[in-house]
């Protein structure tokens, strides 16, 4: 489906089915969100992993997670994305209630090829912010309108947001989502991801410990 550049983004429910995982069985829901302002490399299909009856519930644990093919599929150690996704699913399964919104915003919204170009600059010494700037790209191009639309579709009344990023809390609140609490998602640092986490903490306002060795794996 091609969206007119002047049209408003629309959310369309495409499919759903049970999805057994190592953490238990979730309801997998697929949506299409045609956003004319999104990077052309990004998919318009987004996913919700739902456990329990979240309709009209308050204080639902929610993880808004952006796609990271390099870590989640290829096993990259450069970031903590795969571990954060796994931790969110584990916590939701323990609670028996919650939602993971999996947004197709690879590379913080700049697309896979640009992300890999940024990786090449990082290999030459640039940090994650400097690499994007050298490519004349936004440091973080992600938007959360689709997340807000998905939560409204699922009829979630308020959320406890699993994130270390206060900007994500602010963005959802501006979109009308009631965030009653922020739940940190601390996962293990390694020799390849430590500098990435330092940049997140020191330059992107992520709420991470001063001593990254305190992070639990």
Where are the chain's structural domains?
12-101+142-205
Per residue in 40-92, pLDDT (tens digit) is 888 999 999 999 999 999 999 999 999 999 999 999 998 889 999 999 999 99
Please give the C-alpha separations between residue 7 and each of 31, 75, 83, 117, 175, in angstroms, as whole numbers. Answer: 18, 38, 37, 31, 18
Which candidate in 140, 160, 181, 203 is catalytic? 140
The reported pTM is: 0.89
Q: How confident is the model at residue 7 (pLDDT cuts 50, 70, 90)?
A: low
99/195 Cα distance (integer angstroms): 30
Tell me how many degrees the CA angle 99-102-107 measures, rounded to the nearest 5: 145
Q: Is the pLDDT of residue 38 over 70?
A: yes
Q: Which of 54-58, 143-147, 163-167 has the lowest mean pLDDT?
A: 163-167
Percent of the chain with pLDDT over 90: 65
Token pair of 204 as six digits: 């992107």
Mean pLDDT (whole number) for 152-180: 95
Which candidate in 63, 104, 108, 142 is catalytic? 142
Contacts of residue 67, defined as CB under 8 A and 6 or more positions apart, other chains included, come to 102, 103, 104, 105, 106
Please give the C-alpha separations between residue 67 and each of 22, 78, 108, 115, 191, in angstroms, as whole numbers. Answer: 19, 14, 8, 12, 22
Q: Is the pLDDT of residue 186 over 60?
A: yes
Instruction: Give CATH superfamily name and number for 12-101+142-205.
Output: GTP cyclohydrolase II (3.40.50.10990)
Residue 216 confidence (pLDDT) = 47
Q: Is the pLDDT of residue 214 over 70?
A: no
Annotation marks residue 142 as catalytic = yes
């Amino acid at each position: 489906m091609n969206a007119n550049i002047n049209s408003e983004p629309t959310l369309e429910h495409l499919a759903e089915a049970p999805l057994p995982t190592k953490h238990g069985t979730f309801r997998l829901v697929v949506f299409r969100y045609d956003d004319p302002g999104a990077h052309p490399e990004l998919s318009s299909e987004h996913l919700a992993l739902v456990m329990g009856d979240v309709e009209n519930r308050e204080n639902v644990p929610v993880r808004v997670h952006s796609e990271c093919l390099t870590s989640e599929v290829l096993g990259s150690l450069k970031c903590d994305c795969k571990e954060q996704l796994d931790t969110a699913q584990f916590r939701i399964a323990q609670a028996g209630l919650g939602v993971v919104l999996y947004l197709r915003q690879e590379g913080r919204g700049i697309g896979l090829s640009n992300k890999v170009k940024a990786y090449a600059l990082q290999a030459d010494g640039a940090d994650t912010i400097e690499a994007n700037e050298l490519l004349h790209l936004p440091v973080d191009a992600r938007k959360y309108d689709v997340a807000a639309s998905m939560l409204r579709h699922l009829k979630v009344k308020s959320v406890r947001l699993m994130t270390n990023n206060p900007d994500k809390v602010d963005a959802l609140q501006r979109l009308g989502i009631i965030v009653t609490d922020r739940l940190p998602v601390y996962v293990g640092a390694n020799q390849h991801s430590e500098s990435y986490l330092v940049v997140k903490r020191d330059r992107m306002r992520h709420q991470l410990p001063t001593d990254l060795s305190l992070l639990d794996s």
